[in-house]
Amino acid sequence: MWDVIKELLRQPERPRKVMIMDEAYREEPAVYHIAPRTLLWVSGGALLTSGLLMVVLVVYTPLLYWLPGQVDPEVEQQARLSALRVAALEDSLALQQAYMDDIRQLIMGDIRASGGEGAPEISPPETPARSGDASVYLPEDASPEWEDHTAPALTLTRLPLQLAAAGDGAASSPLVAGGLSLPAPPPVNGILTRGFDPRSGHFGIDFAAEEGSPVRSVGEGYVIMADWTHDGGYTIAVQHGMGYVSVYKHNQRLLKRTGDRVSAQETIALSGNSGELTTGPHLHFELWQHGLAQDPRHALLGL
């Protein structure tokens, strides 16, 4: 085959006669007159047309993006938008984490934790210490300010309004403190099982209650935290007037979201047994003022 092509190309200007016959010579041979130059022009034109068509297909169709190093603009735009969304989500998560850290610091009374230099370090894990017949859990290094939490920052007797004692020990004229009326009914119908003990890190009181019992806000205010925490499970915190914050832990379900306004005695959660630091269905209730834990028994009726 190559010999025939070389023969045609040896003198392309001379016409040639090509005979095609059967090897057994059983049929008359077919004779064709060929102009090699014309054949070359036709073949070259066909190759050039095919090449141009391939270039057009590659340049003006998605086939271009099959080539190495070529990126589809739409895919590139989507990747850029996805990267921007991821960066925005990371910034949002960082802000939310900082907000949650501030809320937790407020609840724990660690008001200096965001102050940079001089901020206290996190206390090491608690270790059990035997006291009599009961196990008392104390931190290895107790906070030197723990005694600040042993009494209300502003006791009821020091307030300008006087409380008239009623037959059941309740005040007939409740003290209104900027949206928080004290004393107030307990946040849940239950039995008091553990008291306020800041020395052991228990900054509230516990009410044993059936799971699903309504948990009521002790006063009107705004929800500043409604989230899951490792120790307290489903936790909700309400900001009241005069720097008061009430905290409700170990709930089964939260009925309010951060930013919601709640009124006094409005149901904000259902009690439960969530979180790691729980021994049974109960509500852990805390009351803070200006970053200091208060003994809720001084502010609740019938305790």
| CA 205 – CA 190 distance, rounded (Å) | 12
> How much of the chain is in helix, strand and coil states, percent to nearest 5?
30, 30, 40
| CA 218 – CA 184 distance, rounded (Å) | 6
- What pLDDT is attached to residue 64? 66
182 C-beta neighbours (distance < 10 Å), count: 23
Domain boundaries, the chain: 2-62, 72-108, 156-298
Q: Does domain 156-298 have CATH number 2.70.70.10?
A: yes
Per-residue model confidence as pLDDT tens digits over 167-225: 344 333 343 335 678 899 999 999 999 999 998 889 999 999 999 999 999 999 999 99
From 13-17, 266-270, 272-276, the region with the lowest mean pLDDT: 13-17
pLDDT over threshold 50, residue 131: no
What spatial distance separates the first Cα and last Cα of the chain, rounded to whole Å? 111
pLDDT over threshold 50, residue 163: no
Number of H helices, E strands in the chain: 3, 16
| CA 284 – CA 45 distance, rounded (Å) | 89
- What pLDDT is attached to residue 90? 82
| CA 23 – CA 18 distance, rounded (Å) | 15
Cβ-contact 255, 204 below 8 angstroms:
no
| CA 85 – CA 177 distance, rounded (Å) | 45
Mean pLDDT of 238-245: 92
Structure tokens at 60: 């003006």
User: Token match 């009410």: residue?
Assistant: 207
Name the band, by pLDDT with cuts 50, 70 and 90, for residue 88. Answer: confident
Per-residue model confidence as pLDDT tens digits over 52-80: 888 887 777 776 667 676 667 777 788 88
- What pLDDT is attached to residue 151? 54
The proportion of the chain whose per-residue pLDDT surpasses 70, expressed as a percent, equals: 71
From 114-128, 144-158, 258-272, the region with the lowest mean pLDDT: 114-128
- What pLDDT is attached to residue 162? 38
User: Token match 């014309």: residue?
Assistant: 38
Mean pLDDT of 34-62: 80
